[in-house]
Structure 1
Amino acid sequence: MRSCCVTDVGQKRTTNQDFVFASDTPVGPLPNLLIVADGMGGHQAGDMASRYAAEVIVSHIKRSRERNPIRVLRSAIETANERVLEKAAEDEELSGMGTTVVAATVVENYLYVANVGDSRLYLIRDHIRQITRDHSLVGEMVRAGELSPEQARNHPNKNIITRAVGAGQKLEIDFFDEDLRKGDILLLCSDGLSNMVEDEEIEKIIKSGRELPKIAMDLIERANRNGGKDNIAVVLAQPLTGEVEQC
């Protein structure tokens, strides 16, 4: 796998509450690992939540003896939830902190994804396709037919999420798996990208044929050019030819 990751504070924020992680090499039993976390909370709490949750996830996976990728991701994210809650309880300034998490691994020709919150994973093949489901107020309204995707993009409550790591003892995690094909590109991102850049525009930039790090910077630049109202997190990955069979 080839991958790259980058975050940017954006045009309106003074602190960066997004955190990214990408490893092309094994992390515990997983052959690779990709993570985007978008923190929330006052003072430095959001920054702490995203970084701490991701660090706990990576550390937990490194020690895991489980072989099933979904179980590995589930256990790691549940542990991160417990640890974030504990840290928030220890420090009044961190009270109420939480974070989204989208984590993924590619095992042979299969993609495994875990998601909490509204950070996204896209699969770019013939077209761009969002694999994850947004755990947000407007996301639920779109799925219920109460809003169109276009209305959701400009809704005043679009930043309200309905699930987060650190939000409570009971954590619901969504899991997805997908067959991969040669040439597929994966994009993990925070809403600082997806709220600022239309899916079609993201697809066009990714299909430019440039190297992944240049594509990542092009996505950041476009989000900032379109307003940069939030921190921006981007992880891009492309399985190598030998890892994915041609269909």
Structure 2
Amino acid sequence: MTSFGKTDTGLKRSSNQDSIYLSDSPVGPLPNLYIVADGMGGHAAGDFASQYAIRLVVDFIKKSTVKNPISLLKRAFIYASNEVYKEAEKDKVKNGMGTTMVAAVVIGSELYVGNIGDSRLYVIDDDIKQITMDHSLVEELIRNGQLDRNKGRNHPEKNIITRAMGSRDEAMPDFFQITLKKNSRILLCSDGLSNMVEDDEIRDIVSEDGDLERVVDYLISRANYYGGNDNISVVVVSV
């Protein structure tokens, strides 16, 4: 199993509030770990929130003896969310900060995923399948039948999320377990990619044989080609 990841400021933002983490080797009891986080809360706070949350999750997992990946991810997510909230309460500059997070672990042919917010995980094999579900106002409107999915990409409130790490309430992440096909690729990304590049184009790029670094660079370049409205973070894992 191999992976590559990169984060890019994009063309419209002055700072990068996204953070990524990837390890093809064991992290605590897990055989590997991949994370994308998209921070919020102002120039300094959003950048800090995403980095801090990833560090908290990784450190929690490294010290844990819990072997069930879903149970471990859940405990790590809730712990990190509480710690981000505590940190925000101590510092006026960081007040209200938070972050999305999507994390993945591959054990054999099984993929385990945790997410909170609107950063996404896709599996690409013969097609592209979005595994995570956005915790966003637009996604709620779509699920309630109040908005057509095709119009959601351009909705003026598409960036409003309904769950995040660091919120006052206890974190409510979602978790998924999927059996992977042979030669699948996994994509974790922030909304700076998924809001700019259509799923079909993402599938075509990720499906190409060859160097993962080239795949990641091309995805980022396409997001910037379409406007680069936000920070762009991409992690691709080849199983």
Question: Which amino acid in the other structure matches residue 21 of structure 1?
Answer: Y
Contact 1:120 1:188 (C-alpha < 8 Å) held by counterparts = yes
Question: What is the CA distance between 1:90 and its match in structure 2?
Answer: 1.1
Give the Cα–Cα distance (whole angstroms) in 1 for the partners of residues 146 and 211 of structure 2: 40
Aligned residues: 239
TM-score normalised according to structure 2 size: 0.99
C-alpha distance after superposition, 1:123-180 (max 9, x if no partner): 0011001000000000111112221221100000000000000012321110000001
Question: What is the CA distance between 1:73 and its match in structure 2?
Answer: 0.3
- Which residue in 2 is equivalent to 1:112? 112
C-alpha distance after superposition, 1:30-74 (max 9, x if no partner): 000000000000130000000000000000000000010001101
- Which residue in 2 is equivalent to 1:170? 170
Question: What is the CA distance between 1:208 and its match in structure 2?
Answer: 2.0
Question: What is the CA distance between 1:20 and its match in structure 2?
Answer: 0.5
Question: What is the aligned-residue identity percentage?
Answer: 54
- Which residue in 2 is equivalent to 1:43? 43
TM-score normalised according to structure 1 size: 0.95
Give the Cα–Cα distance (whole angstroms) in 2 for the partners of residues 226 and 99 of structure 1: 24
Give the Cα–Cα distance (whole angstroms) in 2 for the partners of residues 79 and 124 of structure 1: 31
2:100 is paired with a residue whose SS is strand
- Which residue in 1 is equivalent to 2:146? 146
- Which residue in 2 is equivalent to 1:243? none
- Which residue in 2 is equivalent to 1:24? 24
Contact 2:135 2:163 (C-alpha < 8 Å) held by counterparts = yes
Question: What is the CA distance between 1:182 and its match in structure 2?
Answer: 1.1
Root-mean-square deviation over aligned CA pairs = 0.7
2:87 is paired with a residue whose SS is helix
1:111 is paired with a residue whose SS is strand
Contact 1:127 1:203 (C-alpha < 8 Å) held by counterparts = yes
Question: Which amino acid in the other structure matches residue 43 of structure 2?
Answer: H
2:89 is paired with a residue whose SS is helix
Give the Cα–Cα distance (whole angstroms) in 2 for the partners of residues 145 and 217 of structure 1: 36
Give the Cα–Cα distance (whole angstroms) in 2 for the partners of residues 14 and 232 of structure 1: 13
Answer yes or no: is 1:208 the counterpart of 2:208.
Answer: yes
Give the Cα–Cα distance (whole angstroms) in 1 for the partners of residues 43 and 225 of structure 2: 27
Structure 2 unaligned residues grouped into runs of 5+: none
Answer yes or no: is 1:236 the counterpart of 2:236.
Answer: yes
1:44 is paired with a residue whose SS is helix
1:221 is paired with a residue whose SS is helix
Give the Cα–Cα distance (whole angstroms) in 2 for the partners of residues 64 and 233 of structure 1: 27
Question: What is the CA distance between 1:82 and its match in structure 2?
Answer: 1.0
1:155 is paired with a residue whose SS is coil
Question: What is the CA distance between 1:96 and its match in structure 2?
Answer: 0.2
Give the Cα–Cα distance (whole angstroms) in 2 for the partners of residues 43 and 125 of structure 1: 37
